[in-house]
Structure 1
């Protein structure tokens, strides 16, 4: 069983009160949680990585709970996304370990979430930032929720670490007006519309 020793977590919360034009009735909240963990696969090649996703599920659940708390509770959360970054001793495929533990934890906790969790992956060192893509939790075609939240930590990921990130949002972009499927038109049947 691989050891994904947790070094630190960090929470980021943004309340968007204005973005030009009229002020919204209620600020839009975006939040992300990041975790730096040891990468047990750094420095070598491992043919079968998939079983290690199981070992990361408790981390995904813990991060999801803390993120929901930072969002002020479940009510109104309608956007989500995830990202992962490998330090220079790792490989890009190590970041794919986050797909199931991160994505499924949020989907399970947010109830009837149907849409795929948008994802970004990259390699980088300490201070490297990544744009965590955001999308609507039930319908990928809701344009108002196409967004990203930039996240990074000044001291990671180190060469033998992985940075795992989850993000959530409440509401679409302030002043969205690009048409497409609206939130009130979502059927939530197939994750697309």
Structure 2
């Protein structure tokens, strides 16, 4: 089995004003999405290891690199990240999950993001071409840092086709523009935001 990519789409956003107030620095987010052929569309296959071997490592290396290039940053400048899979109608959500929920996908991703330590938050679903996929983002070193808990909506008008999967990687150089809900670390200690 071989990875077959139809296209790669990169989406970036810079937010300068949020909640009617200028941000101290722009909130910069970028996602890279690969539209790939699903070799298991329309059939049930018990062993998904060939799909994992063909896709996970290559996409785990390629997609975060493309997302960082869109922002013009290095992995050390990335503060938050996430991943996702949108499976076409003739596939199973398990097909996308098999690709992104492996160390062969996650380890190269984390390595490129400055040797990040947290699990990559994820979103998986099935949908028709043009369906949205909201990518969850968390801090790359500490999942309890709430300022980096956010989502980034992505959509490709002509993907996924019924026999395709969209695999996504998202990175950000900061948290939300004006975080004010306090630290989960402090809340666990009994200190709540006022």
- TM-score, structure 2 as length reference: 0.88
- Moved runs in structure 1, 4+ residues, more than 3 A? none
Query: What's 1:104 paired with?
Result: 107
SS, match of residue 111 in structure 2: helix
How far apart, CA to CA, are the structure 2 residues paired with 1:105 and 1:64? Answer: 9
Deviation at 1:52, TM superposition (A): 2.4
SS, match of residue 135 in structure 1: strand
Q: Does the 8 Å CA contact 1:82/1:102 hold for their aligned counterparts?
A: no
Q: Does the 8 Å CA contact 2:24/2:177 hold for their aligned counterparts?
A: no
Residues 119, 31 of structure 1: alpha-carbon distance in 2 compared, 3 angstrom cutoff: same
- Does 2:79 align with 1:78? yes
Query: What's 2:62 paired with?
Result: 62
Gaps of 5+ in 2: 187-194
Q: CA RMSD in A?
A: 1.6
How far apart, CA to CA, are the structure 2 residues paired with 1:123 and 1:48? Answer: 20
Q: Deviations over 1:105-161 (max 9, x none)?
A: 220111331110000100001010010000000111110000000001110101100
Number of paired residues? Answer: 182
Which deviates more from structure 2 when the two are superposed, residues 80-89 or residues 56-65?
Answer: 56-65
- TM-score, structure 1 as length reference: 0.88
For 2:123, which of 120, 123, 128 is the aligned residue? 120
Query: What's 1:11 paired with?
Result: 10
Q: Pairwise mapping of residues 133-144 of structure 1 onto structure 2 (< 5 A)? A: 133-144=136-147
Which structure features the higher share of helix residues?
Answer: 2
Q: Pairwise mapping of residues 1-193 of structure 1 onto structure 2 (< 5 A)? A: 2-56=1-55, 57-74=57-74, 75-96=76-97, 97-100=99-102, 101-181=104-184
